[in-house]
Structure 1
């Protein structure tokens, strides 16, 4: 079937957003739901936590490795067909995972599932910026971000109920109806189109980006266990950055690169991506600390932890559509600055915990922190992506997801190492070694709480680094003039009958 031409004014907004929404929910469901089943899976496959964590680590590594390739694949076979292929592969592997016969087979299935999952989110973002009219992109992105929030909010609760009511296989079988619905909706509602068709394949770029991404992500994932100064960590990082240098050099020299790095020439895109990377560091700084604190220090159950964390995620999801509406009415830099300040205040407040702190205190400041995330992620992403020409939006989307994946892995590794070192210091300061057995549990809880507070203080300082970068996005460009230019450009697009070719 030949690609069709689509005029901006004829784009069916709701059907396309529905197709994007289903896929985004499915991809995030795979990342957010498996952790609740760790105890049951460890018992089922007679393995330890370190091995079982590779069902999550392997998935994340695969998504990071495949992200840079999605731009090229979308141009080659069309983003619609890439998206549908990824959905089909993801759904099939979910079904196979339910019949894993040992932990090694489960890890293998999860890595393959991560490859398909890593194609879904960049594809949905690419479709958003290539098909949705520019005037509706800010609101569309807010809805896309909302879809990525629903799975972390409800995925663990749904998974916990299913495996508690039935068995562990339903952790993966529950993906199948979502996957089938996403495939049908995407096939029927997303138009088939192409902007570019690459004539050559950059094999060297593929090899170097896989080697660089894989080496760096594995080093970051295992650094807390191996040690940052261990020969394995240092050699993987050295090799990874060497391959990354070869990849960048190669991509800048060839006519049709696997990943077009010329998107970094656009300063607005580059700066927005830098601020997003900083926020990602803050976001993942204590990803597991609050659940561990609530369970191990305060004795909450897994279900109670999910209910305590739920209001913050729901608040983030509820604010997201509002941010999409405000984006064109309020200067984006004010939304971003307000969001960063709320993230900083919320993170700092969470860094003042004690062992007997009220759970309502945690819920309140997590909610404020997540509202701050709502105010920053969508505006930052849209400011950068709308500055990129349509024909390069697939590559820009791939870079965006790639960078955030790498920085997410780095953040987890960095702060896992930090809390381990702070635990050692606080254990010594509290005299844990010489304490009576009756006091050791209380002292361990106190040391963990103090160490978590240290992590959140560092995370607060990190996110504040993003404030001066925000003003670089609009330096010398007053918002009213920028908005006027944006509207003028939109009118010119219609005048010139801009269309997808």
Structure 2
């Protein structure tokens, strides 16, 4: 199949991007010692990366249309390779933070651009399977990154960043050779005002959700940043609906399928992040496991998500997004509910099993929801649809981490107070660990309830008509192209 080499390149590019996103999750405590720093400073290795990624995504659609998606992809891989090498030679925590921010810029571009190339270069009849393989590669990043980076961190931290340089070189060579050239579209001038609103809104909201547990929900700083973010976002929407050459075509939300796919994906992202965030913390804090041991325990559960994603890609043409999203969401709800019963002596096999169930649910539901949204857009709008999907997923991912962290600390403090007032007089360490576990349990209850909201929203993905071969087709027509739209 001629399209296979193209898919190989996109899979490698997506894996590199997601790996760099997740490789730092287990390394923050180590870098406190390496650079003799503190947690508040080292945290910016993740915070700065996330902010850079969230800010650049809205620009990816314009860049692809203006310079061709192949060129943007190749330059992003080259930039990511260079910034990774710079991270490896960092001489201080501040230089490492700066280079991680640079990494975030290129990672933020790669994901939406690769998704767009899939819909441009892969024939429609092969697109569902290709998308499932691309999604599976994105899942391999979180699955392998904690194990690989945890092992490398224990030997030589520089190789955390150098390990993917050879893979990046291979991806560049393959990309130059196999990705078809797509001529730049007739894109108008850059919507600078829209970009300013998008950057300001993204920065403010990401900062708010990322620091709400430190600043406090009702603090003046939180209120100011939240108001700034919401105001900038509203101005962005108002401006984009009026300008002739918008940064992002928000008229995509006129499609019920596209809008519902975004909402379902956002809720699923919130459910996903609760497990990715809290289960490793539970294993390290309660069971005293090392980052490498946590990565090994969760490796097979994570890989099960890749298998479920491939299965969803094969089933999507026959049964559609609705049934897959429902099945996946039910599994996520069930597993999240089971994690609300974690205790100090919970068996590790129990944790691994229910993490596998959660990951299978994610694999069955995430890609079909995204696939339905992309198919609702005209070909000329693929880059804008991809940018919107990835941008909002980034925002809601930050929202999930911020809200769950704040909820966890609030519930933990409440449980400490209750346990201290009990008739028994256990040790202070037992109280701390018990309250820690109960706080995680409460967070999973909320995660289960939130994912339940995706079930009625998934009804909007139902398709009514069938073609002559019995396969489901979209309920509504594809959106009109920009040239057909009167602004």
Q: Same fold by TM (over 0.5)?
A: yes
Select between 23-32 and 425-434 the one with higher mean Cα deviation.
425-434
* 1:351 pairs with one of 318, 340, 347: 340
Structure 1 partner of 2:183: 194
Q: CA deviation at 1:307?
A: 1.6
The answer to whether the 8 Å contact 2:77/2:106 transfers is yes
**Take 2:203 and 2:336, find their aligned partners in 1: how far apart are those partners?**
31
TM-score by length of 1: 0.91
- 1:95 to 2:85 alignment: yes
Structure 1 counterpart SS, 2:241: helix
Structure-to-structure mapping, 1:333-348, within 5 angstroms: 333-348=322-337
Change (3 A) 1:434 1:93: farther
**Take 1:287 and 1:484, find their aligned partners in 2: how far apart are those partners?**
35
The answer to whether the 8 Å contact 2:318/2:472 transfers is no
Which deviations, in whole Å up to 9, do the C-alpha atoms of 1:441-473 show, x marking residues without a partner? 112111111111111011101001111111112
**Take 1:432 and 1:148, find their aligned partners in 2: how far apart are those partners?**
47
The answer to whether the 8 Å contact 2:66/2:184 transfers is no
Which deviations, in whole Å up to 9, do the C-alpha atoms of 1:358-412 show, x marking residues without a partner? 1001111111111011110111111111111010010000000010000000110
Q: CA deviation at 1:164?
A: 2.2
TM-score by length of 2: 0.94
Change (3 A) 1:331 1:201: closer
**Take 1:34 and 1:439, find their aligned partners in 2: how far apart are those partners?**
34
Q: CA deviation at 1:241?
A: 1.4
- 1:128 to 2:118 alignment: yes
Q: CA deviation at 1:216?
A: 1.0
Q: CA deviation at 1:486?
A: 4.2
Select between 18-27 and 297-306 the one with higher mean Cα deviation.
297-306
Q: CA deviation at 1:330?
A: 2.2
- 1:402 to 2:385 alignment: no
Which deviations, in whole Å up to 9, do the C-alpha atoms of 1:242-295 show, x marking residues without a partner? 111111111111111111111111110111110000111111124322112112
Structure 2 partner of 1:411: 400
The answer to whether the 8 Å contact 1:195/1:391 transfers is no
The answer to whether the 8 Å contact 2:309/2:363 transfers is yes
**Take 1:321 and 1:255, find their aligned partners in 2: how far apart are those partners?**
40
* 2:35 pairs with one of 33, 45, 64: 45
> Superposition RMSD on alpha carbons, in Å?
2.0
Deviating 4+ runs (over 6 angstroms): 432-435
Structure 1 partner of 2:455: 467
Q: Which has the higher contact order (CA 8 A, sep 6+)?
A: 1
Q: CA deviation at 1:86?
A: 0.7
Q: May I ask how many residue pairs the two structures share in their alignment?
A: 476
**Take 1:432 and 1:145, find their aligned partners in 2: how far apart are those partners?**
49
Unaligned runs of 5+ in 1: 1-10, 491-501
Structure 2 partner of 1:7: none
Structure 2 counterpart SS, 1:298: coil
Select between 288-297 and 124-133 the one with higher mean Cα deviation.
288-297
Q: CA deviation at 1:111?
A: 0.8
Structure 1 partner of 2:482: none
Structure 1 partner of 2:142: 152
Structure 2 partner of 1:496: none
**Take 2:440 and 2:145, find their aligned partners in 1: how far apart are those partners?**
26
Structure 2 partner of 1:168: 157
* 2:427 pairs with one of 430, 439, 449: 439
Select between 167-176 and 372-381 the one with higher mean Cα deviation.
167-176
The answer to whether the 8 Å contact 1:224/1:413 transfers is yes
Which deviations, in whole Å up to 9, do the C-alpha atoms of 1:202-259 show, x marking residues without a partner? 1111111111111111111111101111111111111111111111111111111111
Change (3 A) 1:111 1:192: same
- 1:71 to 2:68 alignment: no
**Take 1:132 and 1:432, find their aligned partners in 2: how far apart are those partners?**
63
Structure 2 partner of 1:422: 411
Q: CA deviation at 1:332?
A: 2.7
Structure 2 counterpart SS, 1:255: coil
Structure 2 partner of 1:33: 23
Structure 2 partner of 1:111: 101
Structure 2 partner of 1:61: 51
Change (3 A) 1:134 1:46: same
Unaligned runs of 5+ in 2: 478-487
Structure-to-structure mapping, 1:234-253, within 5 angstroms: 234-253=223-242
